[in-house]
Amino acid sequence: MAKPALGRGLGALLGDSPIAKPPGPAPISTTVPETAPATDPRERVQRVALDRIQPCPFQPRKDFSPETLRELADSIKEQGIVQPLIVRERAGHLELIAGERRWRAAQLLGLKEVPVILREADDRAVLELALIENLQRENLNAIEEAQGYSQLIDQFQLKQEEVATKVGKSRAVVANALRLLKLPPSIQASIREGRLSVGHAKVILGLATETQQRLAFERIVKEGLNVRQTEGLVARLQAREAGTATRNEPITAQNRDAHLTDLENQLRERLGTKVHLRYAHGRGALEVAFFSDAELERILQVLGVTPD
């Protein structure tokens, strides 16, 4: 799989290759003889006291598995820290840019010093790098990923397209991730904890109100509904809200015609977006979702419609 493109300037920030553990301290002030090949100052490694380093407030990853940290600590105990931490100077301390798992594992081991590479980076570059590092390793849960995108947009006034370019994702991936933040906090927490899948969450987002979303979530958990069954449940809730469902008809996934569900799935695959098909007694509606002007234009092209 091709490595996602780094954001502008981040290649220089990271360097082009992994840095091996040096045999001993290499202070940044070390001079290079004029006859020696030029050394990139960004690649100089030094060992610093672990307690001088603090975590970065822009780190999008909030959950660190104790089990995987212990496994990493065991590896470091045997092999050492092969890839130095990347830090920047802040008032009175060093702040992590990349390598928080290694830093936490080093704390578990009680290490006094760790290898670091010092970089100059502004807040935006740090957030971009933290996102990229975690996304490439698939370390973020869906909510952490969405919150990282949101922070780039809100704090640095970036557009979704710009965020997508910087983190090496498609605009659709960024847009769909951001939609998860529209869910109630309790449902977001369930996604973060792995109790609710992103597939379920995307279906729940088809409901207009928080009350309906909570109702659907409770039914999913209580009855153990899969994504297909959740689609049926959401369709019934939408129909009841629109006044097209029989008042006393129970809301169950089984009430939806399997043929309608199949048609809806085919339309969703063909158009590449969320589609909802409502049908009853020869009448109904087809709802096609889009989340930007560009996406609307793409859907119109698929349908063979040319705007005047």
Range of the domain at 251: 183-256
pLDDT computed for residue 136 by the predictor? 60
Classify residue 250: in a domain, yes or no.
yes
What mean pLDDT is reported for the chain?
77
CB distance 201 to 218 below 8 Å: no
pLDDT computed for residue 106 by the predictor? 93
Rounded CA separation 88/130 (Å): 13
CB distance 84 to 116 below 8 Å: yes
Classify residue 172: in a domain, yes or no.
no
pLDDT computed for residue 121 by the predictor? 79
Query: Where do we find the tokens 């996604």?
Result: 191
Q: What is the CATH number of the domain that holds 83?
A: 3.90.1530.10
Which of these three, 166, 198, 232, is where a domain ends? 166
- Do both 68 and 148 map to the same domain? yes
Classify residue 261: in a domain, yes or no.
no
- Do both 274 and 252 map to the same domain? no
- 3-class secondary structure, 278: strand
Classify residue 34: in a domain, yes or no.
no
Residues annotated catalytic, as ranges: 100
Classify residue 25: in a domain, yes or no.
no
- pLDDT digit string (tens) for 129-180? 777 766 666 667 899 888 888 888 887 788 888 888 877 888 888 899 999 9
Which of these three, 114, 131, 166, is where a domain ends? 166
Among 174, 144, 181, 176, residue whose Cα is nearest residue 160: 174
Rounded CA separation 77/229 (Å): 48
- pLDDT digit string (tens) for 261-270? 778 878 877 7
Which residue ranges of the chain lie beneath pLDDT 70? 1-43, 60-62, 133-139, 243-259, 281, 308
Give every CB contact of residue 279 below 8 A, 6+ residues apart in sequence: 257, 260
Classify residue 22: in a domain, yes or no.
no
- Do both 61 and 104 map to the same domain? yes
Which of these three, 166, 195, 229, is where a domain ends? 166
* DSSP letter, residue 51: G
- Do both 86 and 55 map to the same domain? yes
Classify residue 114: in a domain, yes or no.
yes
pLDDT computed for residue 40 by the predictor? 52
pLDDT computed for residue 185 by the predictor? 92
- 3-class secondary structure, 213: helix
pLDDT computed for residue 220 by the predictor? 92
- Do both 202 and 162 map to the same domain? no
Rounded CA separation 276/227 (Å): 14
pLDDT computed for residue 43 by the predictor? 65
- pTM for the model stands at 0.52
pLDDT computed for residue 20 by the predictor? 38
Q: How many domains does the chain have?
A: 3
